Amino acid sequence: MALTAASKKRLVTAALVGPAAAWLFVFLVLPFVAILVFAFGRRAPEGGYQPAFTLEQFANLGARSAAFVNTLVLAPAGTAACLLVAYPVAYYLAVKSNPKYRLLLVSLVVVPFWTSMLVRTYAWMYLLGARGIPHLLEFVGLTDVRLLNTAGAVLLGIVYGYLPLMILPIYVSLEKLDRRLLEASADLGARPVATFFGITLPLSLPGVMTGVALVMILLLGEYLIPQLLGGGKVFFIGNALVDLFLQSRNWPFGSAIAVTLVAVVVVILLVAMRVAWRVAGTRQVDLL
């Protein structure tokens, strides 16, 4: 059977796109459809799911308002803290560091990723617990310092855990920076500070936006850090979900919260892309 050129091309496209599309369909679309169906159902008497078509679960979202508020406050706060720490580091790596050691320095940022986040968070539990830093502080007379299981510990864990995700995109955008622009700025009489705020910072904003979106989206689903460093008291949406599926066995309510979370993420992503387009003055910003 002879194939026309066009159908051959279509076949090749299908062969190339097919696996990814099938993967997405089975592992992303289908589960999401299931969650969506659950969200309109009811909790069975012994727990689980009972088919129904009701908005009850969505009407009840207020019962987890504290988790939403915690997440919507701590995720941006964590992202901002990450940004404040990450920008100078990325700037140093991309602009100030000796190119000879640059690769080594960048890999130092990446290396912690080779160890499980869980193990690293446990290390912080030890450091912040009574036998860790508070024990050292006793020597300088500070007794009864409590660090573990506080909002501050959660924020620290977030900054520690997500920093590389913020550093790398900013580093990449600063690395691409055209040095001639900086020279031109200096030649025209701008002081370094003016050059930074007039040229370097605006040109690195796409990287900043990518980092912010990456960290923010992951933080919105965070579960581990609040559980381990917050002592199960600082409740995120992720913790509410685990609780609803594993303890209360209220799958429909859990699904409704999950659907709402996805909606929030989509909105944040859209807004972030808009902002990135505006500041970059182009539609060619790769966000993710």
Token pair 């310092």 is at which residue? 145
Identify which of residues 12 and 136 has a Cβ nearer to other proteins in the complex: 136
Q: Are 77 and 159 in contact (CB under 8 A)?
A: no
Q: Which stretch binds other proteins (CB under 8 A): 25-33, 86-94, 185-193, 227-235?
A: 227-235
Identify which of residues 173 and 239 has a Cβ nearer to other proteins in the complex: 239
Q: Which of 36, 37, 48, 105 binds other proteins (CB under 8 A)?
A: 48
DSSP-derived letter for residue 64 is G
Tokens for 174, please give them.
């600063």
Identify which of residues 43 and 222 has a Cβ nearer to other proteins in the complex: 43
Identify which of residues 144 and 286 has a Cβ nearer to other proteins in the complex: 144
Q: How far is CA 18 from CA 23, 33, 111, 165, 223, in A?
A: 8, 20, 34, 30, 33
Does the protein bind other proteins through residue 57 (CB under 8 A)? Answer: no
DSSP-derived letter for residue 196 is I
Does the protein bind other proteins through residue 130 (CB under 8 A)? Answer: yes
What's the longest Cα–Cα distance across the chain?
87
Tokens for 191, please give them.
């002081």
Identify which of residues 146 and 191 has a Cβ nearer to other proteins in the complex: 146
Q: Which of 173, 200, 227, 255 binds other proteins (CB under 8 A)?
A: 227
Q: Are 29 and 222 in contact (CB under 8 A)?
A: no
Give the footprint of other proteins on residues 231-270 (CB under 8 A): 231-233, 235, 239-240, 243-250
What's the CA gap between 178 and 19, in Å, rounded?
39
Tokens for 160, please give them.
């520690």
Mask for 83-122, x = binds other proteins (CB under 8 A): ---------------------------------x-xx--x
Among candidates 259, 238, 256, which has minimal Cα distance to 71? Answer: 238
Give the footprint of other proteins on residues 137-196 (CB under 8 A): 146, 148-149
What's the CA gap between 154 and 78, in Å, rounded?
9
Q: How far is the CB of 232 from other proteins (least distance, A)?
A: 4
Q: How far is the CB of 61 from other proteins (least distance, A)?
A: 12
What's the CA gap between 147 and 161, in Å, rounded?
17
What number of other Cβ atoms are within 10 A of residue 278's Cβ?
A: 11
Give the footprint of other proteins on residues 61-80 (CB under 8 A): 63-64, 66-67
Does the protein bind other proteins through residue 30 (CB under 8 A)? Answer: no
Q: Which residues bind other proteins (CB under 8 A)?
A: 43, 45-48, 63-64, 66-67, 116, 118-119, 122, 125-126, 129-131, 146, 148-149, 224, 227-228, 231-233, 235, 239-240, 243-250
